Structure 1
Amino acid sequence: MAKSDRLFRLLHLIRGLTPPVTAARLASAMEVSERTIYRDIESLRLAGARIEGEAGLGYTMIEDPALPPQTFTQIEIEALSLGLSDVSQRGDADLAQAAKDALTKILATLPERQQRQAVHAVNLVHRFGTPPTPTIDMTLLREAMWAEEALDIGYKDQSGRSTQRRIWPLAMSYHDRSVMLLAWCCLRSDFRMFHVTRIDGYAISEESFRPRRVPLLREYIATLKARKLPRMPAHH
């Protein structure tokens, strides 16, 4: 294994394993000697990586914005390009623009060779259809989720009947032909999914459900998996 590839893998292991990570554990995972691990850690430190610790105690990665951009492998660059390209096609206007901006920023940090790899990626995205354009402001909807603020919404079911309800927005789920809002419905006292194109106006309430979004979302997903549904149905 080339030294550059070995350093990338070592950096990934130190980042991913529970700290502090001993040289013995790293050597076993890398299939090299502990002496090689010590030398490679010094090389990473000289390259700008902030790694705390020493032999016998273990090592901990300290996040650093100055970390060398070369830590992306070619397949990781492909994954980033593919994922962000898909978002730029499927997302609403703000999300699509954010994906394009993020890819531009990532490319700007890469060496010239890796920039060419990203621009000429071997994996391409083309979708013949995209979800219908939402009639509500998706950015404000995301902000309500980030802030964990309850929403009062109007919603039309498949038959056109309208209801008013308060929900705790948990996440957005992007399907092939629709975008669904996963939420806790206070009216039904249960989890529900709502087509975002059927939400007929909404207002942010003064009710906060912090810090319940993450555990509720985890519970909702576990419930769906337990039902072994082939796909997540819309709320009617």
Structure 2
Amino acid sequence: MSRTLRLFQLMQALRQGPGPKTAAGLGEELGVSGRSIHRDIATLREMGAIIDGEAGYGFTLIEDNALPPMGFRDTELEALVLGLREVQQIGDPDLAEAAGEALRKLQGRLPPRQSHRLRHAVLTAHRFQRPEAPRIRVSDLREATWDELEVLFEYSDAKGACTTRQVKPLSLVYFDHSTILVAWCLLRQDVRVFRLDRMSNLQITKQSFRPHRVALLREALAKIRSQRLAPHDGTGSPKAAEPRKPPD
């Protein structure tokens, strides 16, 4: 196999499925050594591909500037429209605005037939009851999560009791009636979930936990699934879910 073909196949492998993908796994898929994968990752980065990760933690393709944009099938386009319109309904103001801008960019860059299809899409999304509005700037929290920086905030439970928490933010999850932060809480030394509408006085610290976010999130989600935890109980602590009962 030529190296050019291998680089192309490596890009395809990185695009497919959830990341991160380890060098060993990619090497097995492409029939080469893990060392060759590391060299190829370095080459792709030099060509303009933005690939997150490092040895021991796996790699995720963030942005591919080296190759031309891919076209969309009509069903893929419908899925994108529906997803972006759902974000406009449930996202915080910055995220909702970004979803609208993404739709406009798609419309401007698609072929005429598909641009018309997007403009007059048959699918849409509407929420009669949107999630509770957060009391923090969610874009700052998202940025801290991406940058893998610990955050500090005040948290009020359902009874009004307030605690100060410093956590390693791992992921934001949008539920029907609230948005939650999945995090590793330094106070409890365990996984905790926090409703954004009960958080206040958010501060981004300089304490980094890079590159452990992906591994911590994987462990947190596994724990939540294994214990059948509900999204929240009003205190920031996960609790066992009652059968067939929706989240609080």
**Equivalent residue number for residue 79 of structure 2:** 79
Residues 186 and 75 of structure 1, relative CA distance in 2, 3 Å threshold:
same
Give, in angstroms, the shift of residue 168 of structure 1.
0.8
- Structure 1 segments, 4+ long, off by >2 Å, are 12-21, 63-69, 231-235
**Equivalent residue number for residue 141 of structure 2:** 141
- Residues 18-57 of structure 1: matches in 2 within 5 Å? none
Give, in angstroms, the shift of residue 234 of structure 1.
3.8
Pair 1:120-2:120 in alignment: yes
Does the 8 Å contact 1:180/1:234 carry over to 2? no
Larger Rg belongs to: 1
**Equivalent residue number for residue 233 of structure 1:** 232
Amino acid in structure 2 at the alignment position of 1:192: R
Size of the aligned set, in residue pairs, is 183
Amino acid in structure 2 at the alignment position of 1:67: P
Residues 198 and 206 of structure 1, relative CA distance in 2, 3 Å threshold:
same
Amino acid in structure 2 at the alignment position of 1:161: A
Pair 1:201-2:201 in alignment: yes
**Equivalent residue number for residue 159 of structure 2:** 159
Identity %: 41
Residues 126 and 104 of structure 1, relative CA distance in 2, 3 Å threshold:
same
**Equivalent residue number for residue 171 of structure 1:** 171
**Equivalent residue number for residue 132 of structure 1:** 132
Give, in angstroms, the shift of residue 100 of structure 1.
0.6
**Equivalent residue number for residue 183 of structure 1:** 183
Greater shift after overlay, 191-200 or 220-229?
Answer: 220-229
Render the CA deviation track for 1:207-231: whole Å, top value 9, x for unaligned.
11111111111111111111234x4
Residues 143 and 13 of structure 1, relative CA distance in 2, 3 Å threshold:
closer
Pair 1:216-2:216 in alignment: yes
Does the 8 Å contact 1:153/1:164 carry over to 2? yes
Render the CA deviation track for 1:128-153: whole Å, top value 9, x for unaligned.
01011111111111111111111111
**Equivalent residue number for residue 192 of structure 1:** 192
Structure 1: state its 5+ residue gaps.
Answer: 1-11, 22-62
Structure 2: state its 5+ residue gaps.
Answer: 1-11, 18-25, 32-63, 236-248
TM-score (normalised: structure 2): 0.68
Question: Aligned partners of 2:196 and 2:65: how far apart in 1?
Answer: 38
CA-atom RMSD, angstroms? Answer: 2.4
Question: Aligned partners of 2:14 and 2:198: how far apart in 1?
Answer: 46
